Chain A
Amino acid sequence: MSGAALVAALREVRRLARGVLGSDAYDLYLHHHRITGCTHPPLTEREFWRAKYAEQDANPGARCC
């Protein structure tokens, strides 16, 4: 495997791992903000995560047994 392919593969693994863990939530939000053409400035990363946890407080999801 060439160096570039290896880097690409590692990057893909990182993307999948971040996705499964939910670490990419802010990126998803920013992306949404960008493509939907919102005029107001996006939340900062800190604000975003606060809002996200506040929302989780208000809407709990079950974990299975």
Chain B
Amino acid sequence: MSPASPGPSSHAGPPPDAAPSAGATATTTPPPAAVDPAARREERRWTPPKIALWVGISLVGALGWLMLALARGEAVNAIWFVFAAVATYLVAYRFYAKFIQDKLVRPDDTRATPAETSYDGKDYVPTDRRILFGHHFAAIAGAGPLVGPVLAAQMGYLPGTIWIIVGVILAGAVQDFLVLVISMRRHGRSLGQMARDELGIVGGIAAFIATLTIMLIIVAILAMVVVNSLGESAWGVYSVGLTIPIAVFMGIYLRYLRPGKVFEVSMIGVVLLLAAIVSGRWVAESDWGQAIFHLDRPVLAAAIIVYGFLAAVLPVWVLLAPRDYLSTFMKIGTIVMLAAAIVLVRPQIDTPAISEFASRTDGPVFTGALFPFLFVTIACGALSGFHAMIASGTTPKLVEKESQTRMIGYGGMLMESFVAIMALVAAVSIDRGIYFAMNSSAAATGGTVEGAAQFVNSLGLMGVNLDPATLEETAKQVGEESIVSRTGGAPTLAVGLAGIMHRLIGGPGMMAFWYHFAIMFEALFILTSVDAGTRVARFMLSDALGGINQRFRDHSWRLGAWLTTAIMVAGWGSILMMGVLDPLGGINTLFPLFGIANQLLAAIALSICLVVFARKGRRRSLLVIAVPLLFTAVVTITGSFQKIFSADPKVGYWANHMAYRDALAAGKTELGLAKTAEDMQAVVFNTAVQGSLSILFVVCTIIVLIVSLWRTLQALRGVNLLDTEAPYVESEYFAPSGMVPTASEKELGGQWKSYLAEHPEKDLAGGGH
């Protein structure tokens, strides 16, 4: 069935005013808002060249997968990752996403989208689908897909690659696509509002608490990634620190000098940014530079906390908006550049497909078995619940045509998945010994090259014999004092990226530049996420407090804004500080919590989709939602239960908590990686916090799951069928569905062009302005 044809259960609406053949009269009455279904069917017919094309794509993909899976004991070329991923994405987009569109979503292009019905020139504007794709992608992709795959590389490249690609096709992209669709049909309602509408008060409150705490934990852990990559790095602190004055300069430029010249100021900003990176070497090599910018992690964490508070209470024009422009610019630029570099350089990958740690639970990078912990370590890139907050909200208010949601929602997420694949390639392209030396906690390596080499060699990894001199040499190449125990993923990615990029541009002398370039752009994304996240969390809190004291509802009440911001910053700041000071190495213990939190949010989003589509009368096609929902529920609930109940102190927070408490009670002053009684007390406290958060998340999610299951079963029996969709309004607007318009879309577009020439008042998008 074509996307243009109204599905049986969707509102059929009155027939279009003009038949497609009535070209002569099309100037007085608007042409149809959708391509004639018969013409579209004709276009979709399989022809031999088309069949050959798709057979070809499938064969390329299959070859890619074969090369990745069968490369035993020999190097595999990175280009096979690209072939396997891209071909699989294309097939999934063409066949599976199309299937979802036809059977489950059934978009109706004769139906006006919120951008058309509520057109206001600001929040609701029909936006060119290619622009919206870029917009949406820039909003969903951040540091997450760059970090998770790096940590997951501990288990070899194959488990991560399979999960990123299969996960995105069956889960992540489905979630993004469907949330976009249901929000678009509800006038761009937010996930929280839809949770209340569809799940009722109990489900709504559980979803609210889960969302708010998940947001805090995500901000805290992202901030920790920044702290870990900048700790004891004068170059990094200097160049990332300079982004603040650069952004403020851009803000002033836009407000007072040349308002609205966003592109221009972004170019200036990027040049300044590059200058900041280049001059960093000189600053880091100077004595004064070392004295000012060489900071310990706790100091940096405190600085980020103060920064987070200020950034969230300052007006957006000062810091947030300009840095957002920079971040968008860098994001798209760097990703395109990295893709080109991987294709052109085609690095050899020596990491085994499946490493020794795939079948163990005591990996130094993250603990726990492959199932479920690989699936939570890689959240963004495969399945990220946080996207549901973006897919409901801004994007649905800008969509021109319902049938474009496949390209924007599903396609946008495929793109993010590709970013995750590139991050994985960059991480596995570096020497495995260096990888483990960088990603094992300082408690394990002692923070020295000798300690790191000794530790890594003691892991008994095949083909790994790390020499302390190699670590020193690599650190020197990237312009850092040391790369030992630079955990958190970002530095590893930066080393990988530097290794690939310098072969394309600049040679070995440029490695240090590329390393700091990578650190800079990750920090840029994360700082944007930190203050945007703090702002959103603050608003959620003040809306909730508004129930107690009306004044909190007024967001312009300064004292209230400061108070709620302070509470939220204290929330993520304390988790951050705890992670930074954690004797067991913070990121290793906290990162699973990040993945679990993010995917629990995905479970909530998918639950809401399940209820919505069950209430719309879908039956068998609900499996499209139920299968990934079940999978993510099993993964996250198993993960949470292991974190809560596992008797293995390496995995279970509470087991670890008890082990340290008992040891303290027995008068010991040293246990495992904690070398003093104080450290042991810190472990006791941290594990209690982490354990409690795990319990909170999983309880909220189980409530949401139960409520949604119950509502779905009700809907299947035909009971309690709420219809929360906005009423059908007939569209008087046309735009193509996919990236490239088809012949019939071009023809109809032509009719619209001549119609709009005579009726400029109907031309909402400004006719290719």
Contact = CB atoms under 8 A, between A and B. Distances in A.
Contact of B315 (A19, A29, A53, A61): A53
Interface in B93-144: 119-122, 125, 127-128, 130-131, 134-135, 138-144
A40 interface: no
Contact of A48 (B260, B532, B760): B260
A23 B131 contact: no
Contacts of B380: 64-65
A57 B316 contact: yes
Chain B interface, >50% SS class? helix
Interface residues of B, number: 67
Given A22-B325, A56-B321, A28 B555 contact: no
Interface in A1-38: 15-29, 31-33, 35-37
Contact of A64 (B144, B260, B329, B761): B144
**Which range holds the interface residue count of chain A?**
35 or more
B446 interface: no
A3 B761 CA distance: 33
Contacts of B328: 20-21
Contacts of B324: 63
Contacts of B122: 25, 28-29, 32, 52, 55
Given A23-B263, A63-B142, A37 B761 contact: yes
A13 B555 CA distance: 39
B387 interface: yes
Contacts of A16: 128, 130-131, 134
A64 B386 contact: yes
B529 A63 contact: yes
A19 B263 contact: no
Nearest to A27: B769
Contacts of B134: 16, 19-20
A21 B143 contact: no
A5 B324 CA distance: 33
Given A37-B761, A57-B316, A20 B332 contact: yes
A19 B528 CA distance: 20
A39 B119 CA distance: 18
B259 interface: yes
A56 B316 contact: yes
Contacts of B529: 63-65
B308 to A, nearest CB: 13
Contacts of B389: 62, 64
B236 interface: no
Contacts of A45: 259-260
B128 A19 contact: yes
Nearest to A33: B121
A19 B332 CA distance: 13
Closest 4 CB pairs of A and B: A32-B121, A19-B131, A20-B134, A23-B262
27 contacts: A15-B768, A16-B130, A16-B131, A18-B262, A23-B260, A25-B260, A29-B122, A45-B260, A49-B255, A50-B317, A53-B315, A56-B320, A57-B315, A60-B535, A61-B139, A62-B393, A62-B532, A63-B324, A63-B525, A63-B528, A63-B533, A64-B139, A64-B140, A64-B141, A64-B389, A65-B384, A65-B529
